[in-house]
Every structure is written in structure tokens, then in C-alpha cells.
Structure 1
Amino acid sequence: MNSPEQKSIRAVEPDDIPALKRIIDATDMFPSEMLDDMIAGYFSTGGSEEIWLTYNDNGAKAVAYCRPEEMTDRTWNLLLIAVDPDRQGEGIGAALMSHIEDHLAAHGQRVLIVETSGTDALARTREFYRLCQYDQESRIRDFYADGDDKITFWKALQA
């Protein structure tokens, strides 16, 4: 297996949306029709601080989205990362995480957090963050629903 190439990571463009929706549907992240509202501000305001990336080698294979946390000093939150299920385990998600971390660190940002569910169904996701050297920082019990805790992971960014 070849490692994903950094040159395949680029900013999301409007033409990517149908492929990104397929990835979101395939990974059961959330209803993909929500993507239109989530990304609308990114396309309409050229100066948006949000980061929307895709891993695209002859068609989108992954998507990642992060934004600065309000009322913090250079803390960012990764709100979405999804890799086409047919391409999971190839290092694409790790390449996206590394790309985001490097970009944020190069721009003087301090911290990247990521939140996920504590359900058994997302155990693999939590292990992915640990493998990317994120520390589990908190657990808020029953946050999303009864029996569905919110787990927060944290990583200091190095310039």
C-alpha cells in the first residue's frame, strides 16, 4: 500500500459537494443534506477562517472541516473528518489530520480539539485519534443522548 500523497489534499471546491455527500452518507456521519448549510459560508465569504479540505485523487475520497473555537486563544475544533469506507485504513485520514495540524501550527495556532461519541460504534474512531497522538481530555456523560457520551480529544500544535 502506498502512503497518501499530500498533493492530493486541497481545499474543497463547489464541484466536490456531490462526492463529499456520498462520503458522508457512506460513513453515516450525519444527514448529508446538512452539508449545504455547513459549507455555505465558506464559499460565500472568501475570507472565512474555516478550513475545508478534501483528499482527491481522481475523485473525492475524504473530507475534513475545522474552525477556530470562539472566545479562545488560537484553539481550533475539528468538526468533521470522513474517509470513503472503501479507502479507510490507507492513511488518508491521518494524512488529512497531519496536513491540518501542520497548517495550523505554521500559522501560530496552539491547540486542536476533536469531539466524538462514546458509543461502541465509534470505538474505531476514538482509536484513530489516539493513533494520531491525541489525548482524551474529557467525557461528558449522556451528552448526545441517553447512553451517548461526548468524548473530547486534545493535541498541542507544534510550530
Structure 2
Amino acid sequence: MSADVRRYEDDDLEAINEILATTSPWTAYEERYRLEVADVADDDLLVVATVDDTVAGFAWTVPNGAFDRSGYLKLIGVAEDAQGQGIGSALLDHAERFVSTETTSDELFLLVSDFNEAAQAFYRHRGYDRVGQLEGYVQPGIDEYVFRKSLHDS
């Protein structure tokens, strides 16, 4: 499956929120996540991956969202029926390229829920290292692992 990655358009919001409502890890949380256009700052990068003109995934990257100096992958999601087909990799490639070429940072941080072992394996395979743990950060009883990748070495 070949995906095209492009900047977000207003018409994509419903599809993004459908992914947030129906896929892990967000379905495991008590609070339901919804993306609002007002949440995305002008210098953030919000992209979607489309297959046959249908949104199959999205990624939201904040240029200095980690410690006010490093790139932060705030959200990434791929529709259930599109997982395992390279869409997450295409979105992550886009996020990494954005941070390494359009910002002053050479590293990207992200959080992964402790129960999301598939995502942890995916990021490790992509060269990310687990560098910390935030206990109950999003929801009590669920820890978030902090992952980091130096983009200078990639």
C-alpha cells in the first residue's frame, strides 16, 4: 500500500478524530481525545497519510515541544485497517525530516504508553531509545515511556 503524505487540510479533521476514537492507544484511556484545529500552532506540522484519497493516518509534530528545545511527536495514528503497511513509517519519516531540516533541533522525542508494546518495538526498530518513564502521566495506572532519537546520526 502506497501512501501520500501531505499537510493537513480542514476537511481531514473528521477522519483524524475517527482514528483517535477507534484505535489504540487512545481507546484505552478514560478521556477521549479529539483534535481541534485551534490546538495546532502555526509552526507545528500536522500531516496526513492518504491512500486512494482516504485519510489512513496522521502525525502532529511540535518543533520545540520537548523541553522547549527539541522536536516532539505529539500524536501519531494509523487507522486499524491500514496498520502494518508502512504508513506509520512514512509519517515518522516526515516528522523526522521536518525536525532535522526545518528546526534548530537534531533530536525527536515522543511518548509511548506502557501497554503499547507494538509501538515500542516500532520505535526501537526506527532507532529510538527509551530514556525515561512518566508514571501515571496521562492516566493513573498507565505509564508513559519517553523515547528519543538523535536525528544527526540518521
Same fold (TM over 0.5): yes
What is the rounded CA distance, in whole Å, between the counterparts of 1:12 and 1:87 in structure 2? 18
* Counterpart pick for 2:38 among 37, 40, 52: 40
CA deviation after TM superposition for structure 1 residue 77, in Å: 1.0
Which residue is 1:149 aligned to? 143
Distance change (3 Å), C-alpha of 1:70 and 1:14: same
* 1:3-14 paired onto structure 2 within 5 Å: 4-5=2-3, 8-14=4-10
* Counterpart pick for 1:99 among 91, 94, 99: 94
CA deviation after TM superposition for structure 1 residue 70, in Å: 6.3
More strand by share: 2
Q: How high is the TM-score relative to the length of structure 2?
A: 0.83
Deviations 1:11-46 (A, max 9, x none): 1100111111111112142624x312xx2254xx7x
Write the letter of the residue equivalent to 2:130: Q
CA deviation after TM superposition for structure 1 residue 142, in Å: 3.4
What is the rounded CA distance, in whole Å, between the counterparts of 2:100 and 2:10 in structure 1? 27
Write the letter of the residue equivalent to 2:19: I
Which residue is 2:12 aligned to? 16
* Structure 2 residue runs without a partner (length 5+): none
RMSD after superposition? 2.1
- Would the aligned equivalents of 2:129 and 2:148 in 1 still touch at CA under 8 Å? yes
Deviations 1:49-76 (A, max 9, x none): 1110100121100011111226533x01
Say yes or no: does 1:133 pair with 2:127: yes
CA deviation after TM superposition for structure 1 residue 87, in Å: 0.6
More helix by share: 1
Tell me the secondary structure at the aligned position of residue 106 of structure 1. helix
* Structure 1 residue runs without a partner (length 5+): none
What is the rounded CA distance, in whole Å, between the counterparts of 2:120 and 2:133 in structure 1? 12
- Would the aligned equivalents of 2:73 and 2:95 in 1 still touch at CA under 8 Å? no
Which residue is 1:25 aligned to? 21
